[in-house]
A and B are shown apart, each in its own frame.
Chain A
Amino acid sequence: MSGVFFKTSIFVFMFLFILPISIVFGDKYAAEEEFFAMQEQVVVSASKKAQKISDAPAAISVITAEDIEKYDYKTVAEALTQVPGLYQSTDRSNDYGIIRGIHLSDDNQKRILVLLNGHTLNNGMTMECPLGFELGVPMSAIHRIEVMRGAGSIMYGSNAFFGVINIILKNKQSTEKNFNRIDLSAGDNQLYALDAVINKPKNNLFISLQCRTNKGSDAEAFYNYRWNSTSLATYEDPYTSPSGNTLTKGTKVGDVDFDKMYSLITSYKIGKLDLLGKFSYSREGMPLADWLQIFTNNDKFEQDKSGFFELAYSDKISDKSSYSIRAYANIYDYEDKLYYHELDDTNGNVTYIDGYENLGIINGSNWVDKSKSLGQGIELKMEKVFLEGKINTIYGFEYVKNSNKSCYHSYNYFGEIADFPGLNLDWQKKTSQSFAVFEELNYKFSNNLEGLAGLRYDKITDFTGELSPRIALIYKPKDKMNYKFILGKAFRTPGYKEYKYDDGDLTENSGLKPEIIYSGDLISNFIFKNFTLTIDLFYSKFDDLIIKNDAASYDNNQNVTRSQYQNPFDITNYGVEIGLNGKHNTINYFLNILLAKNNQKGSIETYSDSVTVEKASIEDKLFNSPSVSLNGGINFEYGLFNYGVIAKYISSRKLAQSSGLDYSIGEEYPDKTKSNTLVDFNIKTAKKYNGFSFAVAVKDVFDSKREEPVRNISSIILTKTEGRKIIGKATFEF
């Protein structure tokens, strides 16, 4: 399946590289239009068309290339600090942007739709899309990042649940100026990175390349952990560990937090046809002992190869209407290798795990998990203006087909497939299709009042159809003041790994329903002389939240509990996000405040053995979610340098429970993280010297090592950020 696609991709990439050499287009009006374009700020994410932020029916913010440059953001997750209502989180494996304080334990960014020039980057298997380096988009290639908070299914269907992050590359910027740039970075923990961008708008060519390798800091056990006897895993070799089935607080392990990333993005334009492709490869260590693997083993990893190729064509039908059509293919190829037990006999003799002799589980076994996904889709979109521009409408349809397959096998120490019952499964396939139609209509009641209504219908294999409406009123009493009232609904259908969860088998769970969010926003925007102020009061209600129940059933054959994804909880989330963004001569600053409250309700049934079922009703504050997040930044130029400082405060977060773990020994395991303030600092040369500029960034200046909740598949419930890191960067523009 993916072999054909890879070959096609190679052909297409070669085509993109070779063809432009012989073609040069000129545009005599470009320089003049650039004069006016320099004064622009538009967004395209809210309604899939270009519009001013004040006209967009959404809580939407923009991070510009200039912001990225000034604060030397290293990842998209880090840049999200600048957006009201968002903060950055990390579990050392991946980085995330959390919207409005909803940080679900197993979310892994599958409830936020991430786009690259409008193309979905969430993988077709788990629908996740972390926003750290693993995204494979060099920061120097980004023209702007549009961040839309709240329900976005009206335009994008499933997964635009908490919001939409649209990364716009520099090939979409208005300038006609050629732009070539190379960034070389080196930093703590043996970080080395090369980013290169070639943007030749007159030749319609854009290429970006990223190569990065990072050894990572040591992983550390911040508490004493004890092996849960119901699990097959250990944190250390139980036979050689002095603590015996425990992981002792303070244990440090090197070489388990490494990462490597190689990515290539390229675009080319032929007349009205836009071609865009991305391919990336990443491989990273697993410092959290995910899925209860051995914490101290440094041969465990996860890697993915992902990419897409998109063709987009747009034209006008008449003087009042235009259309665009996109056809695309996505690939995702994932593999991880986890070690469950070390070989205890250095002579290579087979020995069995104590208590598991009957199951034939030997020491030195490992588990390899593989997934592949091929997605294909097409979207037709039409825009129409009528009644002298009083009514604007956009409508269209989208078809997506995802073919997923996964398998897993256990291997003994000698690399042979180990015939452990329930621990081997050959390729299992699942194909799903979705068809959607959508329409949104905007009506101008007067010069300062407009209304908007839209609806999308999605029909996805295995699920009943979902309707996603949005209505909005935008009132602009003055040029520098506007109010928006927005109501919307979004949904997310379970991903392949949720619907067909692979805990021992891949049985489909037909009882699993899509989760739903209803969101409302009342947004006030005020533009003052030197700053803008945004106040957004939001209220959201989630129904049928999809989460994993770690003991949804009991397997009598193997005497273990089985997991399953279910819809046990509803959540309410409300609060206010305040954004202040200003400029005072050469000083730029921002301040974002999030005050959020949330509560989950529902009940969950868990099995401790084949007959004992415990039904627990839960009405409580959400795990992992803070009530206050406060991010502020200031940037200014003084003398030869540009200085930037960002401070990020987050209140304490209640920690989620983990499976297969008896928590701490000898001291109370914390039930919440500590509140924390992280400070980042950067300095860069204010000017270029023959095209060269230099920058140094210090992340976590005071080495405060923020405590972060981690995903519930990890053995370690709580981790800490890496601490102070110094990264130097040399940039050459030509």
Chain B
Amino acid sequence: MKRFLTIFIFTLIIFVSQSAADKIVIVKSRALSSYDEAIEGFKETITASSSIGNSLEILDMKGDDKIAEDIVKQLKNDDEVKIIVTLGARASEMIASEIKHKPILFSYVLNWKNYSALRQPNVTGIEFEIPANVSLTLFKMIAPNVKKIGIIYNESNSKDVVSAIDKEIQNYELKLYLRNISSPSKLKKAYKELINDRIDALWLIADPVLTQDKDNFKFITEESKKNKIATLAVTEKFVELFGMLFAVAPDYKTIGSQSANMTQNILNGQKIQDMPVETPIGTINVLNLKTAEMINLKFDEFLLKMFNKVYE
């Protein structure tokens, strides 16, 4: 018993007495495996570089503003912190609002332009949205007869994203039908209006007003199958779980690798103010073949090869 207690206390002392060196800090908004995938990619890429050494720390705000405030305070006062990598809107905005003198790299922020703090000179990152032309090109290839695309969104969340799509869509001989809703409860009504407009495709952008209610996803998917409407999602899970037609989505692990490369560039002397916000370099294309059949879309071998993953 005494021996065991001695070992236990000794171990405690070792843990408490560790000291830190210059460091890079990754801050998660909360514990989510989506973030962990990026961290894994970050570590794999950064480990290849010897310059980082033993100076990587991971902090978790646990979805709690009070914990978040403590972390911000600590990072602000810690001179050893060289670069802060933030995952999610909570970590990104709260840190960028308070810390103006250290480089901050954000990712996993939906519609990042909505957060003025992220436009500061000491902040850059990786946007979550895939460029509209990438999705539209694939859209046109798999559903060439589509003419009218509908989007339901909240203007205060996704104005910039929708504008970018609107601008791009004209190059694809498509017409955009928009419905701006103020809350998830208005989604069904907006969807029915789009049906009355005879849309033949629906683009579900990453707008929180759409993702707050799982039942809304189910409703949209089922109604779209019935109405033979193609649905474009923004993550693989929505294709798998809700049966949406296809997704062009960022690869989370690659987001981490991309952040690591940007981190490395800063450490190599590149100035953060010269580094624009990047688009995700790794995307995955996912298709739900059963949904495709239900809405009478045909896929040949060539088209199927364009998808990294096909759910049958």
Binding site for B on A (CB under 8 A): 27, 29-42, 50, 52, 174-177, 271-272, 315-316, 319-321, 384-389, 393, 395, 437, 439, 447, 455, 457, 459, 465, 467, 529-530, 583-586, 686-688
B13 lies within 8 A of chain A by Cβ = no
Query: Are the CB atoms of B32 and A37 closer together than 8 Å?
Result: yes
- Interface segment among B57-65, B168-176, B190-198: the answer is B57-65
Assembled-state Cα–Cα distance A459/B311 (Å): 53
On whether the beta carbons of B58 and A385 are closer than 8 Å, the reply is: yes
State whether the Cβ of B122 lies closer than 8 Å to any Cβ in chain A.
Answer: no
Is there a chain A Cβ closer than 8 Å to B131's Cβ? Answer: no
Pick the residue among B18, B110, B291 that contacts A32 (CB under 8 A).
B110
Other 6 A-B pairs with CB < 8 A, given A386-B15, A389-B56, A530-B311:
A38-B237, A38-B241, A52-B33, A272-B64, A316-B70, A585-B312
Q: Report whether B311 and A33 are in contact in the complex, using a CB–CB cutoff of 8 Å.
A: no
User: Would you call A585 and B311 a contact (CB within 8 A)?
Assistant: yes
**B97 an interface residue at 8 Å Cβ cutoff?**
no
B208 lies within 8 A of A585 (CB): no
* In the assembled complex, B145 has its CB within 8 A of some CB on chain A: no
Please give me the 10 A-B residue pairs with the lowest Cβ-Cβ distance, nearest first. A31-B208, A585-B290, A29-B90, A35-B211, A388-B56, A39-B237, A36-B34, A32-B89, A32-B208, A31-B212
Taking a contact as CB atoms under 8 Å apart, the answer to whether B211 and A31 are in contact is: yes
- A39 near B40 (CB under 8 angstroms)? no
Report yes or no: B88 in contact with A393, Cβ–Cβ below 8 A: no
0/1 interface trace, chain B 246-286, chain A, CB 8 Å (1 if under) = 00000000000000000000000000000000000000000
Determine if B67 is an interface residue (Cβ-Cβ < 8 Å).
yes
| Pairwise interchain contact A437-B5, C-beta atoms closer than 8 A | yes
B116 at the interface (CB under 8 A from A): no
Please tell me if the beta carbons of A36 and B15 are within 8 angstroms of each other in the complex. Answer: no
Are A40 and B66 in contact, with the CB atoms below 8 A?
A: no
What is the minimal beta-carbon distance from A27 to any residue of chain B, in angstroms? 7
Chain B 289-302 interface mask (CB, 8 Å, partner A; 1/0) = 01100000000000
Using A29-B29, A272-B66, A320-B57 as known contacts, say yes or no to A36 and B108 having CB atoms under 8 A apart: yes
Residues on B with C-beta less than 8 A from A387 are 54
Task: Please tell me if the beta carbons of B15 and A177 are within 8 angstroms of each other in the complex.
Answer: no
Q: List 11 A-B contacts (CB under 8 A).
A: A32-B109, A33-B30, A33-B32, A34-B211, A175-B214, A272-B67, A321-B15, A388-B56, A388-B57, A455-B4, A584-B312
The answer to the question of B49 belonging to the interface, with a C-beta cut-off of 8 Å to chain A, is no
Asked whether A529 and B309 contact (CB < 8 A) given A386-B18, A439-B8, the answer is yes
B206 within 8 A of A: yes
* Complex CA–CA separation, A386 to B65 (angstroms): 24
Interface status of B148 (Cβ within 8 A of chain A)? no
Q: Are A50 and B31 in contact (CB under 8 A)?
A: yes
- Contacts A447-B44, A465-B1: A36 and B89 contacting too (C-beta < 8 A)? no
Residues of A within 8 A of B213 (CB): 177
Q: Which residues does chain A contribute within 8 Å of B54, judged by CB atoms? A: 387-388
User: Complex formed: what's the CA distance from A457 to B240 in Å?
Assistant: 45
Inter-chain contact B312/A530, CB cutoff 8 Å: yes
B40, B63, B309 pick with most chain A CB within 10 angstroms: B63
On whether A319 and B59 interact (CB within 8 A), knowing A386-B15, A387-B54, A395-B12, the answer reads yes
* A688 and B215 form a contact (CB under 8 A): yes
Expressed in whole angstroms, the Cα–Cα distance for A149 and B215 within the complex equals 33
Other-chain contact of A437, B8, B25, B110, B211 (Cβ < 8 Å): B8
Q: How far is the CB of B175 from chain A (nearest CB, A)?
A: 28
Residue of A nearest to B92 (CB): A29
Assembled-state Cα–Cα distance A6/B213 (Å): 39
A29 to chain B: which residues have CB within 8 Å? 29, 63, 88-90, 93
Contact across chains for B208 and A35 when beta carbons are under 8 A apart: yes
Shortest C-beta distance, A630 to chain B (Å), equals 26
Q: Are B57 and A393 touching (Cβ within 8 A)?
A: no
> Out of B11, B30, B34, B288, which one reaches A439, CB within 8 Å?
B11
Known contacts A29-B89, A529-B309; is-contact A585 B288 (Cβ 8 Å):
yes
In this complex, the member of A32, A41, A52 whose beta carbon has the largest number of chain B beta carbons within 10 angstroms is A32
CB distance from A396 to the nearest CB of B (A): 10
Residue ID in chain B nearest A49 by CB atoms = B31
Inside 8 A of B32's CB, which chain A residues have their CB?
33, 36-37, 40, 174
**Docked pose: A439 CA to B7 CA in angstroms:** 11
**B20 CB to nearest chain A CB (Å):** 8
A271–B30 alpha-carbon span in the complex (Å): 16
Which residues of A lie under 8 Å from residue B139 when comparing CB positions? none
Is B150 located at the chain interface by the 8 A CB criterion? no
CA distance in complex: A467, B3 (Å) = 12
User: Which residues of chain B come closer than 8 Å to A272, judged between CB atoms?
Assistant: 64, 66-67
* Pair A34/B212 contact, Cβ less than 8 Å: yes
Q: B240 → chain A, closest Cβ, in Å?
A: 8
- B25, closest chain A residue (CB): A319
Q: Point out the residues of chain A lying under 8 angstroms from B65, CB to CB.
A: 27
Contacts of B8 in A (CB 8 A): 395, 437, 439
B22 within 8 A of A: no
CB distance from A588 to the nearest CB of B (A): 11
User: Smallest distance from the beta carbon of B194 to chain A beta carbons, Å?
Assistant: 19
Contact A39–B34 (Cβ < 8 Å): yes
Within the complex, the shortest CB–CB distance from B222 to chain A, in Å, comes to 8
B36–A52 CB distance below 8 A: yes
B4 and A457 contact, CB distance less than 8 A: yes
Contacts of B93 in A (CB 8 A): 29
Bound Cα distance A388, B312 (Å): 41
CB neighbours (8 Å) of B219 from chain A are: 687
Alpha-carbon distance A376/B56, docked complex (angstroms):
41
With the chains together, A585 CA to B59 CA distance in Å? Answer: 38
Q: How far is the CA of A529 from the CA of B74 in the complex (A)?
A: 44
B235 at the interface (CB under 8 A from A): yes
Identify which of B1, B44, B67 contacts A316 (C-beta below 8 A): B67
Give the distance in Å from the alpha carbon of A447 to the alpha carbon of B43 in the complex: 9
Does A33 contact B29, Cβ atoms closer than 8 Å?
yes
Quick check: A389 and B43 within 8 Å, CB to CB?
yes
Q: Which residues of chain B come closer than 8 Å to A35, judged between CB atoms?
A: 110, 206, 208, 211
Among B56, B70, B243, point to the contact of A585 (Cβ < 8 A): B243
Within the complex, which residue of A27, A42, A439, A529 is in contact with B31, where a contact is CB–CB below 8 Å? A42
Q: Roughly how many angstroms separate A41 CA and B58 CA in the complex, as a whole number?
A: 21
CB of A393 within 8 A of CB of B33, answer: no
For A39, give its contact among B12, B70, B88, B235 (CB under 8 Å).
B235
Complexed CA–CA distance, A583 and B58 (Å) = 35
Q: Which of the residues B15, B74, B208, B209 comes within 8 Å of A393, measured between beta carbons?
A: B15
Complex Cα–Cα for A92 and B61 (A): 48
Residues on A with C-beta less than 8 A from B243 are 585-586
Residue of B nearest to A583 (CB): B240
Closest to A465 in B: B1
B15 lies within 8 A of A384 (CB): yes
Q: Please measure, in the bound complex, the distance between the C-alpha atom of A6 and the C-alpha atom of B300, giving whole angstroms.
A: 69
Q: In the bound complex, how far is the Cα of B30 from the Cα of A50, in angstroms?
A: 11
CB distance from B213 to the nearest CB of A (A): 6
- B51 interface residue, CB < 8 Å from A? no
Known contacts A272-B64, A388-B56: A40-B33 contact under CB 8 Å: yes
Question: In the complex, what's the smallest C-beta–C-beta distance from A356 to chain B, in angstroms?
Answer: 52
Q: How far is the CA of A493 from the CA of B216 in the complex (A)?
A: 51
Q: Are A34 and B15 in contact, with the CB atoms below 8 A?
A: no
Is residue B132 contacting chain A, with contact meaning CB distance below 8 A? no
Contacts of B56 in A (CB 8 A): 388-389
Whether, in the assembled complex, B182 has its beta carbon less than 8 Å from a beta carbon of chain A, the answer is: no
**Interface flag for B120 (CB, 8 Å):** no
Please, how many angstroms separate the alpha-carbon atoms of A35 and B211 in the complex?
Answer: 6
Most buried by B among A319, A321, A465, A529: A319
Bound complex: CA A321 to CA B40 (Å): 20
Docked Cα-Cα span, A688 to B215, in Å, equals 9
A32 and B88 contact, CB distance less than 8 A: yes
Chain B residue contacts of A316, Cβ below 8 A? 67, 70
Output the nearest chain A residue to B234 by Cβ-Cβ distance. A35
* Chain A hits for B30, CB < 8 A: 33, 37
* C-alpha gap A393/B74 in the complex (Å): 22
| CB-defined contacts of A465 to chain B, threshold 8 Å | 1
